[in-house]
Amino acid sequence: MITELREIHLPLVAPFQTSFGVQTSRRILLVRALVDGTEGWGECVAPDEPTYSAEYVDGAWAVSVDHLLPRLGGVERATDVAGALEDVKGHPMAKAAVEMAFLDAELRAAGTSFAARLGVTRDRVPSGVSVGIHESVAALERAVAGYLGDGYVRIKLKIEPGWDLEPVAAIRRLIGPGVPLQVDANTAYTRDDTEHLHRLDEFDLLLIEQPLPEDDLLGHAALARAATTPICLDESLVSLTSVSDAIEIGACEVANIKPGRVGGYLAAVAIHDLCRQRGVPVWCGGMLETGIGRAANAALAALDGFTMTGDISASRRFYARDIVTAPIDVVDGHVAVPVGPGFGFELDLAFLDEVTTARIEV
Ligand code: NPQ
Ligand code: MG
């Protein structure tokens, strides 16, 4: 078994601003695993900086080289990867990328798609778009109008203190009462903002995502009791236990599932199963993935419990050119569930080499 780590650099089509910063390009870590002669690829969703969660590209690279890949001796199946890496605390995004490469290789060797392995029957999933903080409400309105023109069936607005009631009101007015709308604060508020956040209730939002810090489950439970807009957790959901506890105390009325944040696609499926059993609706989040992660997310989101529209947008929402030969497209408001072996993408190897900034074999 051979593994390779690569770092690539891709410019974003436009700056993407959230409550924790502005992104204009992305460094992305990829993992390649050669398992019994079959190649598989995984994508690490860790951002450049540790501002969404504790993970970041250089940290993921270091822990992969020094602690994860050396633990893979003897691992032959994707289902054994998480156990082999269990002694290493944290670093779920780095671990998820490694497991992903094994899963892709294993499925390709078997000629099976990830969708078939999951047993999903849907052949497409609805596509939502996450819209960053803009320099003015007018600029935001232009961006949202463009995305509606692209066919996206659900809009998510990034909010922060000072950029919330006014842009949300303007966009609700622009799109009318029929278009599903939700907001994401990426932990930008505090418990003292409770009264203020309740003023979002009048805009008929599907949910408010992660208003409070990652570790403030009780704060989210208190907000959920007081507000009518459902509370959805993202950053707080780091494991099956954290999801189970958050649901139990009433902090998580809706769950955003991101495989990278919970240590991999297999853990994500287990969390989906738990939420389904508890009657909590889930949707698939996004981390500005390339066509690798986007393809995998489209299959995951076809599971029955994913009853809400995810942040699985077209490749061109973020990248002018993707590293896969068939970029993810939005057709009639939906993204197709890949049918090819593994995660179903094919890499554009020449372009991949062009954008590769570092490479190591371990
Ligand atoms: C979220 N994603 O749901 C994240 C946040 C996010 C699509 O809104 C580089 C890599 C920059 C990952 C910025 C969306 C990022 C990133 C924001 C993730 O909270
Ligand atoms: Mg979020």
**Each residue's pLDDT tens digit, 80-136:** 999 999 999 999 999 999 999 999 999 999 999 999 999 999 999 999 999 999 999
Beta carbon of 287 within 6 Å of any ligand 1 atom = yes
**Rounded CA separation 28/289 (Å):** 9
Which structure tokens are listed for 69? Answer: 């890949």
Beta carbon of 128 within 6 Å of any ligand 1 atom = no
Helices and strands (H, E) in the chain, number of each type: 12, 13
**Rounded CA separation 351/195 (Å):** 50
Q: Are 292 and 28 within 8 A, CB to CB? A: no
Q: Which ligand is nearest to the CA of 318?
A: 1
**Would the pLDDT of 15 be above 80?**
yes
Cα angle vertex 266, ends 50, 337, to 5°?
95
**Would the pLDDT of 211 be above 90?**
yes
pLDDT band at residue 252 under the 50/70/90 scheme: very high
What H or E segment, with its residue span, contains residue 8?
A: strand 2-18
**Would the pLDDT of 227 be above 90?**
no
- When pLDDT is averaged across residues 163-178 and rounded to a whole number, the result is 98
Q: Which amino acid residue places its CA nearest to atom 11 of ligand 1?
A: 47
pLDDT of residue 182: 99
Q: Say how many Å lie between the CA of residue 28 and the centre of ligand 1.
A: 13
Q: Is 158 marked active-site?
A: yes
Please state whether the predicted TM-score (pTM) of the whole model is above 0.95: yes
Q: Which amino acid residue places its CA nearest to atom 4 of ligand 1?
A: 287
CA 285 to ligand 1: nearest atom: 3
pLDDT of residue 320: 98
Beta carbon of 235 within 6 Å of any ligand 1 atom = no
Q: Say how many Å lie between the CA of residue 323 and the centre of ligand 2.
A: 24
Q: Which ligand is nearest to the CA of 57?
A: 1
Q: Which amino acid residue places its CA nearest to atom 18 of ligand 1?
A: 287
Whose CA is closest to 207, among 222, 237, 192, 228? 228
Q: What percent of the chain has pLDDT over 70?
A: 100
pLDDT of residue 2: 81
What are the contacts of 130-134 at 24+ separation with CB within 8 A?
130/156, 130/158, 130/184, 130/286, 130/311, 130/313, 131/155, 131/156, 131/157, 131/158, 132/15, 132/16, 132/17, 132/18, 132/158, 133/17, 133/18, 133/19, 133/158, 133/159, 133/160, 133/163, 134/17, 134/167
**Rounded CA separation 28/48 (Å):** 8
Q: What is the mean pLDDT of the chain?
A: 98
Beta carbon of 234 within 6 Å of any ligand 1 atom = yes
Q: What percent of the chain has pLDDT over 90?
A: 98
Q: Which ligand is nearest to the CA of 209?
A: 2
Q: Where are the alpha helices (DSSP H) in 67-164?
A: 78-84, 92-110, 114-118, 137-150
SS3 content of the chain, % helix, strand, coil (to 5): 40, 25, 35
Q: Is 95 marked active-site?
A: no
Beta carbon of 17 within 6 Å of any ligand 1 atom = no
Ligand 1 pocket, mutate which of 287, 309, 317 (most atoms under 8 A from CB): 287
Beta carbon of 99 within 6 Å of any ligand 1 atom = no
**Rounded CA separation 326/347 (Å):** 8
Three-state secondary-structure class, residue 17 = strand
**Would the pLDDT of 1 be above 80?**
no
Beta carbon of 186 within 6 Å of any ligand 1 atom = yes
pLDDT band at residue 334 under the 50/70/90 scheme: very high
